[in-house]
Structures are given as C-alpha cells and as structure tokens.
C-alpha cells in the first residue's frame, strides 16, 4: 500500500514527465547516432553546458521571487574579460585567486541589481536591462579591442580543459548547495514565500527587501563565477563572449517547470531542464540536422517540452482538486 | 497626434537639410563647417586635386572588440595621420549591417571626405553608401566587400581564388592527398567565408589531384568560441576517420585547435588565424602544422592609401588606375576588374605562419 503511494507520487510529480522526456530524447538520439550515449559525449555535454547549468540555479532563485535577471550574460562577460585581461598582461596568474576575483565582481554586480530592484522599487526586467548594457559595454571598454586566448591563458585553462574535473565539480557543488539551501534553510524558504505572495510574506515578518537583495547577489555570484569558468573552459575571453546566454538559462528554468510568475519551481526540475536543453543542443548536429536549421529545431523542441510540461501540470492540478472535492 | 506628425516632419526636414548641407560643403572637406563655407566657392567639385591634409578620412570596421579589426583600423589610422589628415575610426555597435548603417549615416552628416568600410552585408549598405557618394564622399571597401554599385573600389586582402587554392594546397599537403576533411566556418551568411569555401570547392572539383579528398561536412560556429567548440566536437564524433579541419575564420581555428589539443586528437587543423592566438597550437607535433593570413595592419594601410588616392583624384576607381602606397611592399598598386563587375586592389598573397616564424609574428598581431 505504502509502496504504491510512493510510486504514485513519483509518477504524479512534475519532474517525472521531464525524466521521461530526457529518456526519450536519449533513445532517439542514440538510435540516430549510436555514439551519442558514449561516456566522452556525456562528459562533453556537461562541460559545454556548465555555464548554463550553474547559472540556471541562480536564475531559479530570481524567478522564484517573481523577478527576472537578463544582465547575467553581461556580468559573465565583464568578470570574464577582467580575468582574461589580468592573465594577458600577466598581472595575476593564480587560478584560485582569479576565480575568487570573478566571484567578487559578480557579487558586486548582483548587489547593485538587488539594491535598485528592492530599495529603488524598479521592475527587475528594467533594472537588469540597464545593467545588461552597462556590464557588456564595460567588457568592451576593458578589452580595449583585445582578446585573451591561446598562449595568454595557458595554465589557467587547465582547470576547465577537456577531461579536467573542474567544471564537473563546480556543477555538482552548485546544484547540491542549491538543493539544500532552497529545501531546508530558512533563507531558501523565504525566497519561496516572497515569490508566492510578497504581501503575505511581509506581514508575517519577512524582510522582503533583504530576501530580494540576497537573491540577486546569489545570481551575480554565480554569473561572476561562470565568467572565470568560461575563460578557463574555452581558453578565450572576448567582450562578446556568451552573448545571449541569458535566454538559454531562462529556457532551462522554464523547461524545468519554473513558473515565470514566481513561487513555483525546484532545483531538481531546473537541473533536468538544463540537461534537456543541453541534450537538444548536442544532439542536433549529431543526428544530421543541417547547421542552418538547428536553431529552428531547437526552438520547436523547447516549446514542445514546455507545452507537455504545462499540460502535465494542469492534469495534476485537476487531480488534486478532484481529490479535495471528495 | 497631429502635433506629433508635424514634429516628426520637422525633424526629418532638419536631418535631411543637415545631410544635404554637409554633403555639398564636403567637397573640400573638414568637419569644421565654418571653414568649408568660404572655401566652397574656390574649390571645384569632385575629382579635382585637394590638399589631403585638410581632409577627414573615416574607417568603419566590421565590429568593435576584435583584435583583427583593431589592427586594420590601426594601420589605416597611422597612414592617414602620417599624411597629416584627420582620421575617424567608427566602430559599429555590433557586427551587423544595421549597426553599420547608423554609423555611416552619422559620418555622412559629419561631412567626411572619404569612407572606408568593411561591410557586414554585401547588399544592405547600398542605399546609404550611394547617398554618401551622391554627397561627394569617396567610398571604398576593404576586408569584406559590398556589391559593385555601392563602392568605388574594393581593397581585397588577397584574391579569392588564390585563397581557395592556397587553402586547398594546405589541405592536400597535410592530409597527404587523401582522406576525409571538414570545414568549420563563421556564420552561414558570412560573405568572405562563403566566397573562400566556394573557391576551395571549385579548386577541388577542377583538378583530378584532389579526387581522393572527401569534404564530409561544412559546419558553422558563428564566430563564437562556444558554438565553434561544440561544432568541432560534433565533427570529431560524427567522422572518426577525419584527418583535417580547415577553418577559414580566426575564431573558429582558435576554438577548434583548443578542442583538438585538449583531446590529444590526431586530427590536424589549418585555415586562417591570428598568430598571437594560434601560437600555443602551432608546431611540428602540435595540432596545427601551419596556417595562413594576411597582415591586417598592411590591409588597413593600403585601404588608407586607396582612400587618399581617391580623394586627391589620383584614381577614380576604374580598372587600370595606379597609385603609390608609400613604402608598402607591392607599391605601386593597380586597380583591376573584380569578378562581381566592380573593381578591386589586391594586397598580395596570403602569408604562411609556421613554427619558424610564429613567435615573431605573435608579438605583432
């Protein structure tokens, strides 16, 4: 009896439909190209999408509060460009310190976002839009028309090189920490409370402004971290790096069932969403879809997964309602 | 609503009159409007000799934040300033034709004497550039051309056929004349890359010598490291027997070289790249035996001499015109017919970067 209810719970959970999608995608891709399921391929999927995955945890927090942050790719470029230039001109070459620096830059950027949104009462999309231009622009200014790549970042790029453990460790730590914080800590639960009903949260004694600020700080921190990581993985820092990445990050969250109006979403769902997006991106060139059509197919698949997810959600809601009526 | 329309009309009228005004005053130059007024009467219109030192030369590269474009602009600026003239470097916000049009329009209204542009799209700039030419501005292209109607002359880094031949020779040499190879390009619309790829395909079809070479795929990395990395990995996975990747783009060759080096792959890479970025990958036992490019500083310099020759009236952009280009290697240069019906000036042959000279060039650009 108990076993049955556990099974029922699993099959009824929203994440379950994502797991099914993931498995179907893997099977289809493997049939079309048997090398898809190989260990190297799986490892590369995680490495190539490390940035999207890590930052989607931060975006999850932001979306949970009912906000959005479209400045993340710019923060990444700003932090990455500073790291790159320090390496190029041999000012600082310690990998660990450069990562710490990237994180600190990200935290400052996130803090500014949080302050303007909470204290200044500016809509998140507006505030982060402003910073999207500011940080990206600053990345160009800092670069002064130079790139850091190849010989400039030798040594530093070992951390994120193909086959190195660095990116995988960061992904694992961020997701595990995100899971624990959002599920079991006061700070994490407050994010959900603010997103579900900010007014109710305020009345029950939660400092909504403080919650908003640390949410954007978390997002900024992860973006800054990814700036440093990006330079290490791709051995290249260009001011236009990861242009448009914010859309992939938001897409990962949305595929993972995170609600754009706040209060609903989970770390597990986000992880699955990011993984599904990563698989789609990876599979398209491998199954022989023409290069120029890949983006279109990617868009169709994203929409299909989201629609499927929404339909499942609605069926669950109806089932819940029916149970209550009885 | 009515008020708004009136205001809009007035704005349009103002801008138009500014453009027209600057255009007519511009035959004798300088962004300084007051001085152009009195001299306008004394100088005759277009084609007549002018004092270069009083003129303003503008360069519009493909995009900001790219060291290759920066090097072109640097060569251009140095040559112009050495002649005592004023140089304006205007980068578009993005590597798109739209962004370039905005920049070009602002240059036209500033009343510059000459515009040298590396076009982000072959046809999209036509209306704006014709407007510039109507206003008496000398229009030339470098690096990436517009169609023949939108320019007076094109400063070509190297003959397209020659680049195709050179790259095919490299492919033949590195693979040993047989086996699978693939191309990693920039975006699927990139005019330069598409022309070179077509030239390579023509070379391959035109000669029995290349019969044992199989071009298995052409993929596009969008000139960004991440997609280029992913496309390279997909190539390696899809074609286990692949022997060589040819990337005729600086971002692509760099990203692909990194992937091959990381995976300790036996696949080789060649193509067009920047020596400073490729230094870590070039070597006898390394992933890149050798690669090609031209000197972007020289290209910018030649674009500058071309612009000055157009403004001074030494050339009109017609085939057969010749002009001196300072102390440049192949000076004097001759304008020749281009395959698109327009005319062009060719800088020279693509330059080979190999283990022997890479360190020296890596310091230059």
Domain boundaries, chain B: 46-158+296-348, 160-293
Q: Hey, what CATH topology would domain B160-293 get?
A: Rossmann fold (3.40.50)
Contact A150 B231 (CB under 8 A): no
CATH class of A42-259+266-278: mainly alpha
Q: Which helix (H) or strand (E) holds B194?
A: helix B191-206
- Over residues B170-185, mean pLDDT: 94
Q: Which of A91-95, A313-317, B72-76 has the lowest mean pLDDT?
A: A313-317
- What residues does each domain of chain A span? 42-259+266-278
- Over residues A271-291, mean pLDDT: 87
User: How high is the pLDDT of residue A1?
Assistant: 47
Buried b or exposed e, range B135-157, using 16+ CB within 10 angstroms:
bbbbbbbbbbbbbbebbbbbbbb
Chain B residues close to A236, C-beta within 8 Å = 225, 254-255, 258
Architecture of the domain whose range is B46-158+296-348: 3-Layer(aba) Sandwich (3.40)
Nearest Cβ partner of B65 from A145, A162, A286? A145
Q: Where is pLDDT greater, at A107 or B121? A: A107
Give the mutation candidate from B187, B225, B263 for the A interface (greatest A CB count, under 10 A): B225
pLDDT digits (tens, 9 = 90+) for B38-88: 443 334 444 445 688 889 999 999 988 888 888 899 999 999 999 999 999
- Indicate the pTM of the whole model: 0.80
User: How high is the pLDDT of residue B37?
Assistant: 42
Per-residue pLDDT band at A303 (split at 50, 70, 90): very high
User: How high is the pLDDT of residue A289?
Assistant: 80
Chain B residues close to A44, C-beta within 8 Å = 233
Q: Which of A237-246, B47-56, B150-159 has the lowest mean pLDDT?
A: B47-56
Per-residue pLDDT band at A135 (split at 50, 70, 90): very high
Q: Is the pLDDT score of B362 beyond 90?
A: no
What 3-state DSSP class applies to B17? helix
Per-residue pLDDT band at A308 (split at 50, 70, 90): confident
- Over residues B128-149, mean pLDDT: 92
Q: Is the pLDDT score of B5 beyond 60?
A: yes
Contact A238 B65 (CB under 8 A): yes
User: How high is the pLDDT of residue A144?
Assistant: 86
Interhelix angle A267-286/A50-64, rounded to 10 degrees, is 140
Q: Where is pLDDT greater, at B19 or B325? A: B325
Min Cα distance B102 → chain A (Å) is 18
User: How high is the pLDDT of residue B43?
Assistant: 40
Q: Which residues, 6+ apart, have CB-to-CB distance to A138 below 8 Å?
A: A78
User: How high is the pLDDT of residue B6?
Assistant: 59
Q: Where is pLDDT greater, at B327 or A30? A: A30
User: How high is the pLDDT of residue B13?
Assistant: 57
Nearest residue on chain A to B273, alpha-carbon basis: A150
Min Cα distance A150 → chain B (Å) is 5
User: How high is the pLDDT of residue B33?
Assistant: 40
Per-residue pLDDT band at B24 (split at 50, 70, 90): very low
Q: Is the pLDDT score of B188 beyond 70?
A: yes
Q: Which residues of A fall below an 8 Å CB-CB distance to B?
A: 33, 35, 40-41, 44, 48, 139-140, 143, 145-147, 149-151, 154, 157, 161-163, 234-236, 238-243, 281-282, 285-286, 291-292
- Over residues A206-232, mean pLDDT: 96
Nearest Cβ partner of B263 from A150, A162, A234? A162
Question: B46-158+296-348 and B160-293: same fold?
Answer: yes
Which long-range contacts does B98-102 make (Cβ < 8 Å, 24+ apart)? B98/B124, B99/B63, B100/B60, B100/B125, B101/B125, B101/B128
Contact B219 A161 (CB under 8 A): no
What 3-state DSSP class applies to B330? coil
User: How high is the pLDDT of residue B23?
Assistant: 42
- Over residues B272-297, mean pLDDT: 90
Q: Which residues, 6+ apart, have CB-to-CB distance to B332 below 8 Å?
A: B322, B323, B324, B325
What mean pLDDT, rounded, does chain B reach? 85
Q: What is the ipTM of this complex?
A: 0.75
Min Cα distance B60 → chain A (Å) is 14
B65 touching A (Cβ < 8 Å) = yes
Rounded CA separation A54/A173 (Å): 9
What mean pLDDT, rounded, does chain A reach? 90
Q: Is the pLDDT score of A178 beyond 90?
A: yes
Structure token digits, residue A121: 């009462």
Q: Is the pLDDT score of B29 beyond 50?
A: no
Per-residue pLDDT band at B36 (split at 50, 70, 90): very low
Chain B residues close to A135, C-beta within 8 Å = none
Q: Where is pLDDT greater, at B185 or B29? A: B185
Q: How many CB pairs under 8 A join A and B?
A: 92
Give the mutation candidate from A144, A145, A156, A280 for the B interface (greatest B CB count, under 10 A): A145
């Amino acid at each position: 009896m108990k076993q049955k209810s556990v099974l029922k719970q699993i099959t009824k959970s929203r994440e379950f439909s994502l797991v099914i999608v993931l498995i179907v995608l893997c099977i289809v891709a493997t049939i079309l190209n048997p090398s898809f399921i190989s260990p190297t391929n799986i490892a590369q999927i995680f490495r190539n999408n490390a940035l999207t995955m890590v930052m989607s945890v931060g975006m999850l927090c932001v979306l949970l509060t009912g906000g959005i942050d479209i400045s993340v790719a710019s923060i990444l470029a700003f932090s990455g460009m500073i790291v790159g230039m320090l390496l190029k001109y041999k000012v600082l070459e310690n990998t660990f310190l450069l990562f710490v620096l990237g994180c600190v830059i990200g935290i400052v950027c996130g803090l500014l976002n949080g302050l303007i949104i909470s204290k200044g009462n500016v809509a998140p999309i507006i505030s982060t839009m402003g910073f999207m231009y500011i940080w990206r622009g600053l990345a160009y200014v800092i670069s002064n028309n130079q790139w850091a790549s190849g010989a400039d970042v030798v040594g530093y790029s070992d951390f994120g090189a193909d086959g190195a453990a660095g990116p995988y460790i960061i992904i694992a730590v961020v997701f595990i920490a995100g899971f624990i914080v959002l599920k079991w800590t006061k700070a994490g639960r407050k994010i959900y409370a603010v997103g579900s009903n900010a007014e109710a949260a305020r009345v029950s004694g939660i400092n909504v402004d403080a919650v908003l600020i640390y949410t954007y700080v978390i997002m900024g921190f992860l973006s800054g971290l990814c700036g440093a990581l990006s330079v290490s993985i791709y051995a290249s820092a260009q001011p236009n790096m990861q242009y448009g990445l914010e859309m992939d990050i938001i897409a990962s969250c949305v595929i993972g069932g995170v609600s754009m109006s706040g209060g609903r979403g989970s770390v597990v769902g986000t992880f699955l969403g990011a993984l599904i997006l990563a698989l789609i991106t990876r599979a398209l060139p491998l199954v022989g879809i023409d290069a120029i059509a890949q983006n279109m197919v990617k868009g169709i698949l994203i929409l299909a997964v989201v629609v499927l997810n929404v339909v499942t959600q609605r069926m669950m809601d109806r089932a819940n309602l029916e149970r209550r009526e009885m | 609503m009515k008020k708004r329309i009136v205001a809009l009309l007035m704005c349009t009228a103002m801008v138009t009159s500014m453009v027209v005004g600057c255009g007519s005053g511009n035959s004798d130059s300088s962004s300084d409007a007051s001085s152009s007024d009195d001299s306008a009467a004394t100088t005759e219109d277009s084609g007549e000799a002018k004092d270069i030192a009083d003129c303003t030369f503008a360069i519009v590269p493909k995009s900001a934040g790219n060291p290759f474009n920066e090097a072109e602009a640097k060569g251009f600026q140095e040559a112009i300033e050495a002649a005592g003239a004023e140089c304006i470097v205007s980068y578009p916000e993005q590597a798109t034709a739209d962004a370039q049009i905005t920049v070009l329009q602002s240059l036209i209204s500033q009343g510059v004497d000459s515009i040298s542009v590396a076009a982000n799209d072959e046809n999209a700039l036509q209306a704006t550039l014709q407007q510039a030419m109507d206003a008496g501005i000398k229009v030339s292209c470098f690096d990436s051309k517009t169609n023949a109607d939108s320019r007076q002359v094109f400063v070509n880094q190297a003959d397209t056929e020659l680049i195709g031949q050179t790259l095919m020779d490299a492919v033949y040499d590195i693979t040993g004349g047989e086996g699978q190879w693939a191309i990693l390009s920039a975006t699927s619309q990139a005019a330069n890359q598409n022309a070179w790829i077509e030239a390579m395909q023509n070379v391959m079809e035109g000669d029995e010598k290349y019969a044992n070479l199989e071009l298995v795929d052409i993929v596009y990395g969008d000139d960004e490291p991440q997609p280029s990395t992913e496309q390279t990995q997909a190539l390696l996975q899809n074609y286990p027997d692949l022997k060589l990747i040819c990337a005729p783009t600086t971002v692509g060759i760099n990203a692909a070289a990194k992937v091959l080096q990381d995976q300790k792959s036996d696949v080789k890479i060649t193509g067009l790249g920047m020596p400073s970025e490729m230094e870590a990958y070039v070597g006898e036992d390394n992933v890149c035996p050798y690669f090609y490019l031209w000197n972007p500083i020289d290209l910018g310099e030649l674009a500058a001499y071309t612009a000055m020759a157009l403004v001074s009236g030494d050339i009109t952009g017609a085939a057969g015109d010749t002009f001196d280009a300072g102390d440049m290697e192949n000076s004097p240069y001759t304008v020749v017919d281009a395959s698109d019906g327009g005319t062009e000036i060719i800088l020279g042959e693509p330059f080979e970067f190999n283990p022997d000279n890479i360190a020296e060039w890596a310091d230059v650009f």
